[in-house]
Amino acid sequence: MWHNKIGNITNAVTCPGCGLSCDDLQLEVSDGQLVSLEKGCTLARSFFDTALTPHDHNPMIDGSRTSLDDAIAQSAELLRKAHAPLFAGLVTDVNGMRGTLEVADHCGAILDHCNGDGLFRNIRVLQDNGWFATTFTEVRNRADLMIVVGNQCFDRFPRLIERVLNPEHSLFSSASERKLILLGPWDNGSLPTDIEAMACTVIPVEHRQLSDAAGVLRGLVSGRPVNMQAFGDKTGDQLVELATQLKTAKYSVIAWSATELDFPHAELTIQCLVDLIKDLNLTTRSAALPLAGTLADVTSNQVCTWQLGYPLRTRLQRSYPEHDPLINRYQTLIAQKETDLLMWISSLSPQVVPPVTDSPTIVLGHPGMTFENDPDVYIPVGVPGVDHPGHWYRSDAVCPMPLGRLRESDLPAVSQIMMLLNNKLLQATGE
Amino acid sequence: MLTKLTGGTLYDPANAIEGKVRDIYIRDGRIVSTPPASEPVHRSYALDGKIVMAGAIDLHTHIGGGKVNIARTMLPEDHREHVRRSTTLTRSGSGHATPSTLAAGYRYAEMGYTSCFEPAILPVNARQAHMEMADTPMIDTGGYAMLGNDDLLLEMIAEGAEQETINDYVAWTLHATQCIGIKVVNPGGINAFKFNARELDVDDLHPHYRISPRKILRTLSLALNNLGVPHPLHVHASNLGVPGNFHSTLSTMDAAEGLPIHLTHVQFHSYGAEGDRKFSSSAAEIAEAVNRHPNISIDVGQIMFGQTVTVSGDTMRQYANHGHAHPNKWTCMDIECDAGCGVVPFRYRDKNFVNALQWAIGLELFLMIDDPWRVFLTTDHPNGAPFTSYPHLIRLLMDRSFRNDLLSQINPDAAASSHLSTLDRVYSLYEIAIMTRAAPARILGLTDRGHLAPGAIADIAVYHQADNPERMFQQPMLVFKQGEVVVEEGRITRPINGTTQVVRPDYDPGIEKRLGDWFEQYHSIKLQNFRISDDEMAAGIGSAVTIHPCRGRN
């Protein structure tokens, strides 16, 4: 629930630990410390443990403690001098992103998320091709055949089986009907234990072979001749059988994590999967379940898209938005020295630290963040869902989940810092 | 502070004022009656020779929510060609068919619109719709929550639940989603598509629940009537876009059994299957039925020629139309056992027989439906055309020779098979004021706007007189929002934010037991996290609610 009021024991807490965004956690917090946590996975425990550990809340300029006022003044001064500021990281909640975009519009900044590479493997397919997708509650209740692509989804989204693929109750698909196919570089020893309850088949395929596998499946589904030479006999037979299963399934689902698919032109692999799904819908029902949302990549992208009309990787230097999913990649901009200031925003995880750059760096960061090289300005910010209420998007980009507040805290939200920065910038320009 | 607008010529149909010179007084954001002569006027505006109307209200425009953001994502080409620069007062933005939220708010205000309603809010996506609308400045907003394809309601109807239980669920949904009305889209059809049904006509049985769209329509329209919700059921009928679908539209009217319903974007539902191309206009049949049924109101969903994108909750029909996608890309989604959405880019061509006839059918409906209080000016933005084409559409209605000129340029077979050239009717300014101000306020139950009598919010648009109504409506001289000038000569002078319009019918909170159990077993979100509170609206989402009264439960 979205709430500003603090109670010691809180039910139905939303977890921003990964894009599954489970909202059934029960937390007991006393004196700002975590007492107990129920239903959370390892990522949830790590998220809340880290967020609720006491940290120094003091802003820093060049590694020395300072006041918030001075940190804001110094940040505004740096922003004023910058010609090509880059706002990256963007690990924040909806209101943090709203504030970030207002300042970005004012400063002519370029915007990218720390997981932009993964995010844009999906976005580029949506931009060029579109897809047929589904959401968790549909999968829980309808799916009778589920293909999970790759081999990292269960580590990246630990409660995927319990919450989505094999729930206790389902409206239309009984546990006995449900089939799970793992299509990826698996060896049988490493399967997650909660898979055992399901009818599960492993089809071992390397990451780079996934687009071939999808192509073969497309061909088989539509009765066109296919070349199976890229696969061994056993895998080939499995793919033939899978094609038959896809055609006869009532509601098949193909899930992947684009962040896992970290190889050149992986967006084309995703497009192959999407085209397979589109073909299947000519005669039966099938849908994609792109797993994403971790570190608020979907959140900041959604807000950017409605406010600017474009996804992230958009620049505002010419006082209007210009988008390019390749040119505006933050790592490239830094490497090619096309930016002269980095503002790094990372409020959910202390591990997401700014990249190395010669340019002045402002960090609005998790209070537990530590640096090898001190940034010019570091302002510790509140953790959404712990220090302040907010909203963030889970994987499907459809359900913005409410985040509550768990403790009293003097840590400012990213949205508050952005408001202070904007006011300072407006003062300086006399507007 | 007292503000006076002097000497303007008023068109205020709610108060039967047609082209009369009247002064208007404003205090604390509201229109007030003439104060004593001794009271000082702090600000006055000389409006001699100017046309004065209440701020315009768009009751059906897709300006916020998941499907709009998918459309924005899919159309970088639309955004590249239409940018809006930031100024010292306003933020930057982009897009024509699917403008960014800030750009949409500015442009609506620049055209004299002061309230807009998003007609297709998936309950599970309501937060996003409200967040987007909160980021749409200048205008007040509101939305209609979609029911009638959610598995919960269909299960209840199939099990023969009491009407009273369904009323509670409908009322609970209005509260939980912070909406002002309920919409049904292709009743049961979006859900049936998830079971692989490809069509569902009004009297077909749903493949799983074995209930008909007629039953769903009847149940929901009765619920809203029983709850005293002012806006009748907002209906996107079965078989959108299918040749011969006017039969379904007539059956849909019939299904209401005399209860009020609002049929939306009826242009897309007025097709016959006559002629060589098996596609013809049935606007006459539909208009005749609307004229005969005082319980029916409609909006048109006029199409305009050019590039746009269709965004709809009607996954079944959007999927069926994906072959027409231009450019060739499309997206569909099944969503949370709630409903779905489909996004298909579209280019309407004046030389194409079907598109040209669609254009003519929309205009036929406008001109053949007698009562301007029951027909609303929409393009179903962006499905028929972007809302920015309203001034052009007004000219088509007000200027017969202009209309006939354009008719002579479209596909000649389409022109020949339309009645349009024989329709002499032209709309008056008064009728335009009815269909864009007075009537939408009335049908939404908004007594505080859409008119210029004391007590109304001082949302006012002032226009220069012009021979060309398109020019006149494109760029008002002044727009007042809550008594403050926010637009001068078509440019934003004062950015402001509006509120969210909602209704709160009574219900028995015992319904949450049944809903809670269902959520617990089948949903991936908990009931507590589904509901949006007033605090969340104001402090989190960023748009406080304005509550409008219901008639009381009966």
Q: Among candidates A330, A306, A305, A265, which has minimal Cα distance to A115?
A: A330
Do both A180 and A256 map to the same domain? yes
The nearest alpha carbon in chain A to B208 belongs to: A172
Do both B22 and B67 map to the same domain? no
Could you tell me if A250 lies within 8 Å of chain B, comparing CB atoms? yes
B110 touches B55 (CB < 8 A)? no
Please tell me the distance from the alpha carbon of residue A315 to that of residue B464, in angstroms, as a whole number: 39
Q: How many degrees, rounded to 5, is the angle at CA B416 between CA B415 and CA B421?
A: 65
Do both B252 and B318 map to the same domain? yes
Please tell me the distance from the alpha carbon of residue B266 to that of residue A328, in angstroms, as a whole number: 44
Of B66, B529, B533, the CB nearest to A23: B529
Q: Does the distance separating the beta carbons of B128 and A127 come in below 8 Å?
A: no
A27: in domain: no
B166 touches B154 (CB < 8 A)? no
Q: Assess whether pLDDT exceeds 90 at residue A190.
A: no
B201 touches B214 (CB < 8 A)? no
Do both B302 and B372 map to the same domain? yes
With the C-alpha atoms ordered B58, B60, B63, B64, is the resulting torsion angle positive or negative? positive
Q: Assess whether pLDDT exceeds 70 at residue B356.
A: yes
Please tell me the distance from the alpha carbon of residue A253 to that of residue A64, in angstroms, as a whole number: 52
**pLDDT reported for residue B552:** 79
Could you tell me if A427 lies within 8 Å of chain B, comparing CB atoms? no
Of A287, A305, A390, the CB nearest to B69: A305
Half-sphere exposure of B138 toward its Cβ, with a 13 Å CA cutoff?
Answer: 31
- Taking contacts as CB-CB distances below 8 angstroms, the residues of chain A near B333 are 132-135, 287, 398
Do both B170 and B38 map to the same domain? no
Do both B99 and B14 map to the same domain? no
**Band of residue B96 on the pLDDT scale cut at 50, 70, 90:** very high
A51: in domain: no
**pLDDT reported for residue A194:** 82
Of A164, A309, A396, the CB nearest to B79: A309
A14: in domain: no
Say which residue the tokens 């403690």 belong to: A65
Q: Assess whether pLDDT exceeds 60 at residue B324.
A: yes
B503: in domain: no
Q: Assess whether pLDDT exceeds 60 at residue A431.
A: no
Task: Tell me how many domains chain B contains.
Answer: 2
- What percent of chain B clears pLDDT 90, i.e. is strictly above it? 99
Q: Assess whether pLDDT exceeds 60 at residue A218.
A: yes
Q: Does the distance separating the beta carbons of A309 and B334 come in below 8 Å?
A: no
Could you tell me if A279 lies within 8 Å of chain B, comparing CB atoms? no
Do both A223 and A86 map to the same domain? no
Looking at per-residue pLDDT, the higher value among B183 and A227 belongs to: B183
Do both B29 and B17 map to the same domain? yes
Do both A137 and A110 map to the same domain? no
Do both B371 and B462 map to the same domain? no
Please tell me the distance from the alpha carbon of residue B206 to that of residue B195, in angstroms, as a whole number: 9
Q: Does the distance separating the beta carbons of B64 and A305 come in below 8 Å?
A: no
* pLDDT tens digits, one per residue of A270-299: 999 999 999 999 999 999 999 999 999 999
Do both A113 and A197 map to the same domain? no
Please tell me the distance from the alpha carbon of residue A298 to that of residue A122, in angstroms, as a whole number: 11
Q: Does the distance separating the beta carbons of B343 and A4 come in below 8 Å?
A: no
> What is the enclosing helix (H) or strand (E) of B58?
strand B56-58
The nearest alpha carbon in chain A to B343 belongs to: A130
Please tell me the distance from the alpha carbon of residue A358 to that of residue A27, in angstroms, as a whole number: 42
Of A130, A323, A389, the CB nearest to B330: A130
Q: Does the distance separating the beta carbons of B331 and A131 come in below 8 Å?
A: yes
**Residue B84: which CATH number?**
3.20.20
Please tell me the distance from the alpha carbon of residue B421 to that of residue B415, in angstroms, as a whole number: 8
Could you tell me if A103 lies within 8 Å of chain B, comparing CB atoms? no
The nearest alpha carbon in chain A to B72 belongs to: A309
Q: Assess whether pLDDT exceeds 80 at residue B100.
A: yes
Task: Tell me how many domains chain A contains.
Answer: 2
Q: Assess whether pLDDT exceeds 80 at residue A400.
A: yes
Do both B453 and B403 map to the same domain? no
Both tokens of residue B77?
Answer: 């080409």
Torsion of CA A135, A136, A140, A141, to 10 degrees: -40
A243: in domain: yes
Of B80, B193, B522, the CB nearest to A171: B522
Give the domain-ending residue among A225, A257, A280. Answer: A280
How far off is chain B from A126, nearest CA to CA, in Å? Answer: 6
Could you tell me if A137 lies within 8 Å of chain B, comparing CB atoms? yes
A392: in domain: no
Could you tell me if A387 lies within 8 Å of chain B, comparing CB atoms? no
Give the domain-ending residue among A229, A253, A280. Answer: A280
- Helices H, strands E: what count in chain A? 13, 20
- What percent of chain B clears pLDDT 70, i.e. is strictly above it? 100
Could you tell me if A24 lies within 8 Å of chain B, comparing CB atoms? yes
Q: Does the distance separating the beta carbons of A102 and B91 come in below 8 Å?
A: yes
**Band of residue A241 on the pLDDT scale cut at 50, 70, 90:** very high
The nearest alpha carbon in chain B to A138 belongs to: B336
Q: Does the distance separating the beta carbons of A309 and B103 come in below 8 Å?
A: yes
The nearest alpha carbon in chain B to A312 belongs to: B73
Q: Does the distance separating the beta carbons of B132 and A135 come in below 8 Å?
A: no
Do both A308 and A422 map to the same domain? yes
Do both A371 and A309 map to the same domain? yes
**Band of residue A1 on the pLDDT scale cut at 50, 70, 90:** confident
**pLDDT reported for residue A430:** 63
pTM for this prediction? 0.98
Mean pLDDT score of chain A: 95
How far off is chain B from A384, nearest CA to CA, in Å? Answer: 12
Do both B43 and B176 map to the same domain? no
**pLDDT reported for residue A199:** 86
B193 touches B149 (CB < 8 A)? no
A23: in domain: no
Of A23, A306, A319, the CB nearest to B69: A306
Say which residue the tokens 């926010």 belong to: B486
Could you tell me if A226 lies within 8 Å of chain B, comparing CB atoms? no
Q: Does the distance separating the beta carbons of B335 and A130 come in below 8 Å?
A: no
In angstroms, the Cα distances linking B320 to B94, B332, B346, B384 are 30, 11, 14, 17
A357: in domain: yes
B342: in domain: yes
Phi then psi dihedrals of residue B488, to 5 deg: -125, 130
H-assigned helices in B417-459: 429-433, 439-444
Could you tell me if A398 lies within 8 Å of chain B, comparing CB atoms? yes
Model ipTM value: 0.98
**pLDDT reported for residue A9:** 73
- Taking contacts as CB-CB distances below 8 angstroms, the residues of chain B near A24 are 526
B249 touches B270 (CB < 8 A)? yes
Could you tell me if A15 lies within 8 Å of chain B, comparing CB atoms? no
Do both A67 and A161 map to the same domain? no
**Residue B17: which CATH number?**
2.30.40.10
B500: in domain: no
B12: in domain: yes
A238: in domain: yes
Please tell me the distance from the alpha carbon of residue B375 to that of residue B494, in angstroms, as a whole number: 33
- What percent of chain A clears pLDDT 90, i.e. is strictly above it? 89
How far off is chain B from A375, nearest CA to CA, in Å? Answer: 30
How many other CB atoms are there within 10 angstroms of residue B13's CB atom? 24
**pLDDT reported for residue A188:** 66
**Mean pLDDT across B1-7:** 97
In angstroms, the Cα distances linking B100 to A366, A389, A423, B116, B491 are 30, 26, 24, 15, 18
The nearest alpha carbon in chain A to B74 belongs to: A127
Q: Assess whether pLDDT exceeds 60 at residue A203.
A: yes
Domain of A213, in residue numbers: 133-280
Of A172, A309, A316, the CB nearest to B99: A309
- Taking contacts as CB-CB distances below 8 angstroms, the residues of chain A near B80 are 322-323
Domain of B433, in residue numbers: 59-444
Do both A367 and A263 map to the same domain? no
Q: Does the distance separating the beta carbons of A390 and B76 come in below 8 Å?
A: no
The nearest alpha carbon in chain A to B128 belongs to: A400
Q: Among candidates B470, B435, B430, which has minimal Cα distance to B51?
A: B430
Between residues 70 and 99 of chain A, which touch chain B (CB distance below 8 Å)?
94-95, 98
The nearest alpha carbon in chain B to A388 belongs to: B540
Looking at per-residue pLDDT, the higher value among A55 and B369 belongs to: B369
Choose from A10, A110, A248, A398 for mutation: most chain B CBs within 10 A: A398
**Residue A310: which CATH number?**
3.40.50
**pLDDT reported for residue A230:** 86
* pLDDT tens digits, one per residue of B150-161: 999 999 999 999
Q: Assess whether pLDDT exceeds 60 at residue B202.
A: yes
Do both A376 and A276 map to the same domain? no
A407 touches A29 (CB < 8 A)? yes
Residue A332's identity, in one-letter code, is T
Bond prior to A192 in cis (omega within 30° of 0): no
B160: in domain: yes
Q: Assess whether pLDDT exceeds 80 at residue A261.
A: yes
**pLDDT reported for residue A175:** 84
How far off is chain A from B157, nearest CA to CA, in Å? Answer: 16
**Residue burial A327-356, b: 16+ Cβ < 10 Å; e: rest:** ebbbeebbeeeebbbbbbbbbbbbebbbee
Q: Does the distance separating the beta carbons of B91 and A172 come in below 8 Å?
A: no
Do both B88 and B233 map to the same domain? yes
Cα B5 vs. chain centroid, distance in angstroms? Answer: 30
Do both B31 and B80 map to the same domain? no
Write B416-420 long-range contacts (CB < 8 A, 24+).
Answer: B417/B275, B417/B280, B417/B281, B417/B357, B418/B281, B418/B357, B418/B360, B418/B361, B418/B364, B419/B281, B419/B283, B419/B284, B419/B364, B419/B368, B420/B360, B420/B363, B420/B364, B420/B367
Do both A170 and A193 map to the same domain? yes
Do both A251 and A316 map to the same domain? no
Choose from A5, A137, A422 for mutation: most chain B CBs within 10 A: A137
Of A23, A306, A321, the CB nearest to B525: A23
Both tokens of residue A195?
Answer: 């898979």
**pLDDT reported for residue B147:** 98
**pLDDT reported for residue B50:** 98
Do both A153 and A184 map to the same domain? yes
Q: Assess whether pLDDT exceeds 80 at residue A429.
A: no
Q: Among candidates B316, B325, B328, B256, which has minimal Cα distance to B292?
A: B256
At A62 the three-state DSSP class reads: coil
* pLDDT tens digits, one per residue of A124-149: 999 999 999 999 999 999 999 999 99
Bond prior to B260 in cis (omega within 30° of 0): no
Please tell me the distance from the alpha carbon of residue B498 to that of residue B507, in angstroms, as a whole number: 28
Do both B378 and B264 map to the same domain? yes
Give the domain-ending residue among A225, A253, A280. Answer: A280
Looking at per-residue pLDDT, the higher value among B476 and A189 belongs to: B476
**pLDDT reported for residue B63:** 97
Q: Does the distance separating the beta carbons of B332 and A132 come in below 8 Å?
A: yes
Q: Assess whether pLDDT exceeds 70 at residue B47.
A: yes
- Taking contacts as CB-CB distances below 8 angstroms, the residues of chain B near A303 are 131
A426 touches B88 (CB < 8 A)? no
> What is the enclosing helix (H) or strand (E) of B512?
helix B511-522
B511: in domain: no
A23 touches A163 (CB < 8 A)? no
Of B76, B194, B333, the CB nearest to A310: B76
B544: in domain: no
How far off is chain A from B513, nearest CA to CA, in Å? Answer: 16
Q: Among candidates A46, A26, A38, A74, which has minimal Cα distance to A366?
A: A46
Choose from B83, B94, B334, B341 for mutation: most chain A CBs within 10 A: B334
